Amino acid sequence: MNAVDQLATAPSRPRRAARRRHPRRRLAALAAVGLSLVLAGTGCSGAAGRPTVGAVAATGGAPILRGSLCDLLPSGTEPGNPASLAGEPPETALQWIPVVTRFEAAVRAADLAGELHGKQGVTVLAPTDDAFEAQFSEDNLDQLFLADKDKLRDLLREHLVAGSLSLSDLVAAGEVTTLAGTKIKVTGGGTTARLGDKADTVCADYRATGARIHIINRVLGNLPVTAGTGDGSH
C-alpha cells in the first residue's frame, strides 16, 4: 500500500450493492482510533461510532440531492446518508461520502480543515476519486500529499468557495470566486451545473454545518495531467 492509499482510508460502509457497481473504488476502513478522535471532537457519534440522524430536525428534513451519481450513494438510514451528515462539520461529512476519499484525504494531508469553517460558511466542490485518477499519477499524488503541501493547499482552495451555496444559488450567481482567487463561470440548472468549461456537478446539495458539498467529475485548477505517467501510473 502506497502513502496515498494510507491517507485515503475512509470508514467502512455496508454498501455491497454500490461497491459492485463501482469496482474501482478503494474504500478501506478508517482506523478506529482516528475515527473516534474525529467524532469525539464533533460530539455527534452514535452507538456504532457513526454520525447520528439527530440533525434531521435541525435542518428541516432530509436534504434533497441532485445529480446522476446520487442514486449510487448512501441513502435512507444507511451510514453516510444525507440526513445523518447535515449536522456534521464538513470535514467529517466528507469522510462518509464514499466517492470522494481522495479529496477528503487531501484535506487531512494539507491540514485544511480550518478553512472549511468560514464565518459565512463554505461551498465545497469535491472531485470524485475517478476525477483524481484521471488527473494524477500515483507518484504525483504521493509527491503532493507528502512533500508539496503548499501546492496541495492551493489545489484544494480551487475547490472551495466562500458562503454556503446550494446548486440553485451557484447557477443564479452565474460566477463564483474560489478561495484561490479563481473566477469560475457557472451555467446549467435543474439537477446539474457546469463549472467553467471543465467540470459538472454529479451529486449536489449535501449539507454540513455551515457548508454545502457538491460532488464534481473533474479536478479544478491548473495543475498538469500526469495520469498514465511514472512508475505509479494508473
Q: What is the per-residue pLDDT for 69?
A: 97
Q: What is the per-residue pLDDT for 3?
A: 53
Q: What is the per-residue pLDDT for 30?
A: 33
Its pTM stands at 0.76
Q: What is the per-residue pLDDT for 8?
A: 53
Q: What is the per-residue pLDDT for 1?
A: 56
Residue 211 to residue 217: CA distance in whole angstroms: 19
Q: What is the per-residue pLDDT for 189?
A: 81
Q: What is the per-residue pLDDT for 117?
A: 86
Residue ranges of the domains in the chain? 3-216
Q: How far is CA 112 from CA 40, 72, 103, 178, 199, in A?
A: 19, 28, 11, 15, 22
Q: What is the per-residue pLDDT for 47?
A: 33
Mean pLDDT, consecutive 10-residue stretches, the chain (234 aa), reads 54 38 36 35 37 38 91 95 96 97 97 87 98 96 94 97 96 97 94 95 97 98 88 54
Name the class of domain 3-216. mainly beta
